A and B are shown apart, each in its own frame.
Chain A
Amino acid sequence: MATGITYEESIKRVYRVCGILAIVTAVEIIAALSHYSWLGLSEETKIAAKLPLNVLFIVLSAAKAYYIMSEFMHLRYELKPLTISVMAPFLFLIWAIIAFSYEGVSWLQLRTWFG
């Protein structure tokens, strides 16, 4: 248990994060379903909405990851060197995601032009 925090306060923090995760997940599901055909949105609206929706999903999932890591995995209460040792390697993933997404788009273009 983190120093200086009472038992009751620790439990409250856990359930608070639980509530946050539940609400964020519910928002994600509702947003994903809003794209479904029986909502009666026009095709153009649905295609135009896909990009901001995807950005929303990525931001919300990153928020969930932050809450799980900082509270459930206790990273918020650990000493700085440990927290940095854990978080720093993930910086390598940023370029990996960007590069391979561009790679995939390039494959689609090559397939489309050259069959």
Chain B
Amino acid sequence: MADSAMTADHDHALEQSTEELWSGGQEPVKASYGKLMMWYFLISDTFTFAGFLIAYAAIRFAHPAHSAGEWNSWPDPNQVFAATPVTGHANLPLIFVTFMTFTLILSSVTMVRAVQEGTRMNRKGVMFWMVWTIIGGLVFVGSQAWEWQHLIHEGMTPTGNPFGAAAFGALFFIITGFHGAHVSIGVVINSIVLFQTWIGTYDRRGHYEMVEKIGLYWHFVDLVWVYVFMAFYLL
């Protein structure tokens, strides 16, 4: 076939022809099965959240823009999200969610450091950075839980809220709920990986690729938050 003839001419330049590379028994993109499967899972999960956020866009466009007193207008984020756990009744729009966003970004940074220490087979280094990643995740989930109980206390439910259109509550709780569940599961798996690191499983295995794979998941969770944050709090 024409393809084989052409690649045969280039064999002195490539170690293998394209056909040989993709004929099985090796890694064509130099990524293990586990890493590829994590990437494919993340792509599918991206479509889950994209579906939710696109539904949010469609429903939000179907409501008039915010105006005080108009029962069906879309709530103003600066009014809905104006409380923090420590300042009582002070009106501080978007400050608490800024704290939450920085927490998750920093936990992503500590996660990358853990992966970097893993490539050097530095068990103690991996443990140090994983502990901070887990703490960041717990602070984020705790903050999200506080936000939920505060809004529920103000009267927001999946079927109504005092700020405007009823659909806002349903979309907020479902989307942040799915994201919070992903973060929680990530914290659990991070803890398992931390434990495995501690008892030396990855030293025995000869590589810390599990840290890298759960790192990909953790960055995905951070990425989703970037877009949830944009949709609900900024736009």
Are B29 and A68 interface neighbours, CB within 8 A?
Answer: no
Give A29 to B77 CA distance when docked, in angstroms: 12
Tell me if B113 counts as interface (CB < 8 A to partner A). yes
A62-106 contact mask (Cβ, 8 Å, vs B): 1 or 0: 001100110111100011011001100110010011001101110
| Interchain CB contact (< 8 A) of B219 among A35, A72, A85 | A72
Are B116 and A15 interface neighbours, CB within 8 A?
Answer: no
B68 to chain A, nearest CB (A): 10
Q: Is the interface of B mostly helix, strand, loop or mixed?
A: helix
Give A86 to B50 CA distance when docked, in angstroms: 15
Q: Is the interface of A mostly helix, strand, loop or mixed?
A: helix
Identify which of residues 79-96 in chain B touch chain A, using a CB-to-CB cut-off of 8 Å: 93-94
Are B94 and A68 interface neighbours, CB within 8 A?
Answer: no
B39 to chain A, nearest CB (A): 6
| Interchain CB contact (< 8 A) of B58 among A58, A73, A107 | A107
| Interchain CB contact (< 8 A) of A68 among B43, B61, B93, B223 | B223
Are A100 and B58 interface neighbours, CB within 8 A?
Answer: yes
- Nearest B-chain residue to A63, judged by Cβ: B226
Tell me if B57 counts as interface (CB < 8 A to partner A). yes
Contacts of B54 in A (CB 8 A): 93, 96-97, 100
- Nearest B-chain residue to A21, judged by Cβ: B105
Contacts of B94 in A (CB 8 A): 29, 32-33
User: With A18-B109, A61-B234, A107-B61 given, can you name 9 additional A-B contacts, CB distance below 8 Å?
Assistant: A7-B116, A25-B98, A32-B233, A32-B234, A33-B78, A61-B227, A69-B219, A105-B62, A111-B62
10 A-B pairs with CB atoms under 8 Å apart are A18-B109, A25-B105, A32-B77, A32-B94, A33-B93, A57-B230, A65-B223, A73-B215, A73-B220, A82-B39
